[in-house]
Amino acid sequence: MTTLPAPTTLAPTSEVLLEKRRELESPKVEETKSKDGPRTFAATLNAASIPFYAVHLIAAFGIWKLGFSWSGVALAVGLYYVRMFGVTGGYHRYFSHATFKTGRVFQFILAVLAMTSSQKGVLWWAAHHRVHHKESDKPTDVHSKKQDGFFWSHVGWILSRRYDDTLYSEIPDFAKYPELVFINRHWYIVPATFGVGLFLAGGWFALVWGFFVSTALLWHGTFSINSVAHWFGRRRYQTTDESKNSFSLALVTLGEGWHNNHHYFPKSCSQGFYWWEIDVTYYVIRALALVGIVWDIKEVPAKIRDRRMERKRAA
């Protein structure tokens, strides 16, 4: 009588192993929710959040005291967009997703420009953003409107003390540069120096409009992608989160409004996948490539970009 061989146990696929590793490394939902209490407005009432509220109050008081000024508006909006490029081209597309390459000097310039926005250190920002993409709209997402409401996703998470630490394990590719580690650890030096420079150049007028008003607007412009872009807009791709595309947010954020595109293929430097999707950040990066400052710009392959349209035609 022939003895049949014992059934073999199939080795788990790399996808299964990766998912198992994420389960082990990710904090449990209960631990995440209870670390410092509920994710509510009350969790943002701490000493570290005072500068955030103070900037808004000083901006409002400054406009009242100095009076409305179109030249002030121009200064605020101009510096808003210059620094918005630091956020979108620096914090986001370079440090968070490495969608292009550059030299060490321009890398540092990008970091400093981004940090004039006063959104903490460059490594802190990029590391937490990488976590967001791993856990997007799951209970362990650092800022999810779906899980914790609009306020938390918009600004509550960054004011909470829960995420004060830089997750260096998430960003080893840039944490190896000592100059980035230094300015990340002492991030307040950059916006403070920027503010002092404005005051020396143009007095209270430049400080109020160029720093306080511009920074308050810049914060909410940036944070709108975490909150509004997961609420209003249209979805082209069936991603695992609630990311949406918005033309109006793309104008406000130099192209970040094509958020559903971005969550579908985060490796692409361009977030506007088609010519009619305005993406000023990408245009500037392309211009920098023409003069050799940046290179190896990553694009979304047409086959991947059009995959949703192919399914629609087949249906």
Report d(CA 268, CA 219) in Å as an integer: 24
- Give a yes or no: residue 224 inside a domain: yes
Judge contact between 212 and 55, C-beta under 8 A: yes
Domain hosting 168: range is 47-237
> Which residues 6+ apart lie within 8 Å of 232 measured at CB?
244, 246
- Give a yes or no: residue 277 inside a domain: no
Report d(CA 152, CA 159) in Å as an integer: 9
Judge contact between 143 and 152, C-beta under 8 A: yes
- Give a yes or no: residue 268 inside a domain: no
Q: Show the tokens assigned to 87.
A: 């956020």
Query: Radius of gyration over alpha carbons of the chain, in Å?
Result: 22
Counted domains in the chain: 1
- Give a yes or no: residue 13 inside a domain: no
> Which one-letter amino acid corresponds to residue 250?
A
Measured CA to CA in angstroms, residue 71 lies from 52, 68, 74, 206, 254 at distances of 25, 9, 5, 10, 22
- Give a yes or no: residue 5 inside a domain: no
The DSSP H or E segment spanning 294 is strand 294-295
Per-residue pLDDT of the chain (315 residues; tens, 9 = 90+): 444 444 433 344 444 444 444 444 444 433 344 344 567 777 777 888 999 999 999 999 999 999 999 999 999 999 999 999 999 999 999 999 999 999 999 999 999 999 999 999 999 999 999 999 999 888 888 888 888 889 989 998 889 888 899 999 999 999 999 999 999 999 999 999 999 999 999 999 999 999 999 999 999 999 999 999 999 999 999 999 999 999 999 999 999 999 999 999 999 999 999 999 999 999 999 999 999 999 999 999 999 999 875 455 444
